[in-house]
Chains A and B, each alone.
Chain A
Amino acid sequence: MAHGHSHHAGGMLTLDALAAHSGLRGVSPALKTFFSVACLLLCVGAADAVVGAAVACSMIWIIWRLSGVPLARLLRLLRVPMLFLVLSCLVILIEWLGAPAGLFCVPLGAHWLCVTEASLHQTATLFFQAFGAVCCLFFLSTSTPMPQLIEVLRRCHLPELMIELMYLIYRYLFVLLETQRQMTVAATARLGYVGWRRSVSTAGRISGGLLASSFRRSSACFDAMEARGYEGKISFLSHTPPLHLRHALAAGAYLALLSLLILIRKGGIAL
């Protein structure tokens, strides 16, 4: 396998590569996790379009400027959740009424498809609420490499077995994907993907082959683990970046501003 990451094209792997090179990878992962979860809770809890939009925009700016993800790439990544969001919001936006009402109506048989002021408001709120939340999670996944995230979970006292499994799954995901890629290339070279029926049967065979090769690999892996003195407990040295005061202050300032915005929007503070 050569140097490039070019063949790691899938969405999840893109996120992994972005996190590995993120400008924020030196920030304490615990802080980033706390920060993104706090923002997410505030954004969802506020249930307000302006707050949601503010969170989304600021998160996109953070991911773009601080984490160093090219904007075009980020927007491409956001397409999938966006599509999902837009489709679900359409269902809420359009009401199925007996008589015309609201801002905009289209007759359909004996009934009317209408957009009312209430449904528009509800949709906008929901859309930005969800979009802000998605951006919070994107912030975490583009700035924090998975190993660091697992270490955070370890410190949250998740059972040791789950931590070990997470490490192994994360590691072998890449090995399996590479094997799968090679098998797919080999099958394509032998015209395994010509026609729909054959594609389905080839994909099935590749899955079977993957299972078989995983079994073979597992015994070889176990030998290699034993050769290095494995006795039932998997433990590694891990370095997670420490918490810096200025990072904590920045996160605190952001959360304070966000809370202030929520208070203003909820009418707690009259301007």
Chain B
Amino acid sequence: MTEPILQLEHISYTYPDGPLAVEDLSVSIAKGERVAVLGRNGAGKSTFFLLCNGILEPSAGTVRCCGKPVTRNKKDLIELHRRVGIVFQEAENQILAVTVEGEVSFGPMNLGLPLGEVERRTAHALDRMGLSEYGQRSPQYLSGGEKKRVTIADILAMEPDVILLDEPTASLDPENVVLLEKTLDQLTAAGIALLVSTHDVDFAARFARRGLVFSRGRLIADGALDSLFSRRELLEEAGLRKPWIWQAAETLRPGEGTYPMTMEQFARWKEARD
């Protein structure tokens, strides 16, 4: 068992003017893991992300980064910001600079790295996202998919261990979703743990083995996706549906415990039964 990179222990958080946003949340993320974060809008997914990165201060509980508890002292927080990056849903809210290169360099600059190192990381992150030619472009002239890649490069330049992506597929066309899935595979290959919040269960099934399900500020399930989709009462509570392939397979042969969730699994499942 690998040492967990990020651990949340009995975390609770209340917004100053609102009800309890997250209650008694415990979760542990290992190196290179891929996790889908599911649940309705307002179920606490975004708050969970902001807590992981240390932007929000939990009212109770401990966040551990590489086993070490994170305090509110500046050094610890900077370390957490560096190790756990968030790619926000709205690229427009994240992109700050007026050139792509400037944008990607913002994180490394804030880490107080020497200029040469900032340049190296920026160039490397742009290269990994296929944006090397875009350095001097202005963000207002990029397409939606290009903007999404810029926001991922933003985080990559900080050389994180965990990247949290808030609904990355929401504003992408199908072509860019395929591109995003390839990008995510590259990140996993580089040993970066990925948490992706999404409403698209078909995408979630392709992307991850493990799923976290949120409902009303609570983490109501944490486990293998196929075990989650076989629990009817859980799906109802979280407002989820089963992946289409699962539903198709279930229609073909009702009564089995779990079903395939992706095309490859379906092909194997079908072969085994023919």
Contact = CB atoms under 8 A, between A and B. Distances in A.
Given A223-B50, A226-B81, A229-B110, A236 B105 contact: yes
Given A145-B138, A174-B140, A234-B96, A228 B158 contact: yes
Interface in B230-263: none
Centre residue among A16, A225, A229 by max chain B CB count within 10 A: A229
Given A3-B143, A228-B158, A217 B93 contact: yes
B105 A224 contact: no
B55 A239 contact: no
Nearest to A173: B140
Interface in A1-58: 1-3, 5, 8, 16-17, 20
Contacts of B158: 228-229
Interface in B37-56: 50, 53, 55
Nearest to A5: B141
B163 to A, nearest CB: 11
Contacts of A8: 140
Given A220-B93, A221-B93, 4 more contacts: A178-B92, A235-B109, A238-B102, A239-B135
Interface in A176-201: 178
Contact of B110 (A17, A167, A230): A230
A258 B177 CA distance: 57
Nearest to A175: B92
A108 B180 CA distance: 75
A227 B110 contact: no
Contacts of A17: 141
Contacts of B104: 237
Contacts of B111: 229
Interface stretch (B58-66, B83-91, B197-205): B83-91
B167 interface: no
A235 B113 CA distance: 12
Contacts of B105: 236-237
Nearest to B140: A174
A238 B110 contact: no
A224 B107 contact: no
A228 B157 CA distance: 10
A220 B50 CA distance: 11
A146 interface: yes
A228 B103 contact: no
B23 interface: no
B106 interface: yes
Given A20-B141, A145-B138, A239-B136, A228 B99 contact: no
B101 interface: yes
A121 interface: no
Q: Is the interface of B mostly helix, strand, loop or mixed?
A: helix
Nearest to B136: A239
Interface residues of B, number: 45
Contacts of A178: 92
23 contacts: A1-B144, A2-B143, A16-B138, A145-B138, A147-B98, A147-B99, A170-B98, A220-B88, A221-B94, A224-B86, A227-B50, A227-B81, A227-B86, A227-B88, A228-B155, A229-B81, A229-B110, A229-B111, A234-B96, A235-B110, A237-B104, A237-B118, A239-B135
A263 B109 CA distance: 51
Contacts of B106: 225, 228, 230, 234-236
A236 B103 contact: yes
A223 B55 contact: yes
A162 B254 CA distance: 67
A244 interface: no
B226 interface: no
B187 interface: no
Nearest to A13: B140
A14 B204 CA distance: 41
Centre residue among B74, B81, B98, B144 by max chain A CB count within 10 A: B98
A171 B96 contact: yes
Given A227-B81, A229-B158, A237 B90 contact: no
Which 6 A-B residue pairs are closest in the complex by CB-CB distance? A236-B102, A237-B105, A229-B110, A174-B140, A228-B107, A147-B98
Given A20-B141, A224-B88, A237 B119 contact: yes
